[in-house]
Amino acid sequence: MTLASNQLASATERRKRLIRMCEALPEVTVEPVNEHLKISIRKKTLAYYQFDHHGDGMISLVCKSNPSDQRRMIRTDAETFFVPDYLGAKGWLGIRLDLVEVDWDAVTESLRRAYQDLAPKKLAALLD
């Protein structure tokens, strides 16, 4: 599956928006890894931006989560949320960023939860 040119244009804007969201979190770093991004807090990975990961045709955010939240989110909206390859077994949550309408509130909330789970308590408290 290949991505259409209109998807690529949209992907650029959505990637920029995601980077701004991540950089607004204290001490978060966003580093390129090929066409993907690794999003970390003090060397702990909280999410990945994935672009056509292993040719799956999707643009997504794969975010640290837990199995119960992962199942709940997928049950709520199976079009937006999915179990990502490799990390899904550990409860990580995939969020589609290539749909016509992206649920940015869900993206924000998932990033916040992952951040609060991984960040030192003093940093996590800054989001309250």
Please report the DSSP string for 8-41 in residue order: HHHHHHHHHHHHHHHHTSTTEEEEEETTEEEEEE
What is the three-class DSSP state of 58? coil
Say what the pLDDT of residue 12 is. 87
Residue 9, pLDDT above cutoff 90: no
- Least confident among 4-18, 71-85, 107-121: 4-18
For 31-58, what is each residue's pLDDT tens digit? Answer: 999 889 999 999 999 999 999 888 888 9
CA distances in angstroms from 55 to 10, 45, 50, 93, 102, listed in the order given? 18, 23, 11, 19, 21
Q: Strand 44-51's sheet: what is its strand order?
A: 28-33, 36-41, 44-51, 59-63, 93-96, 81-82
> 50 - beta bridge partners?
60
- Taking the C-alpha atoms of residue 128 and residue 32, their distance in angstroms, rounded to an integer, is 29
Say what the pLDDT of residue 55 is. 85
3 or 53: which carries more pLDDT confidence? 53
Taking every pair of Cα atoms in the chain, the longest distance, rounded to a whole number of angstroms, is 44
> In CATH, what class is 5-121?
alpha beta
6 or 103: which carries more pLDDT confidence? 103
- Is residue 8 very low, low, confident or very high in pLDDT (cuts 50, 70, 90)? low
What residue type is assigned to position 22 of the chain? Answer: C
For 61-105, what is each residue's pLDDT tens digit? Answer: 999 999 999 999 999 999 999 999 999 999 999 999 999 999 999
Say what the pLDDT of residue 37 is. 96
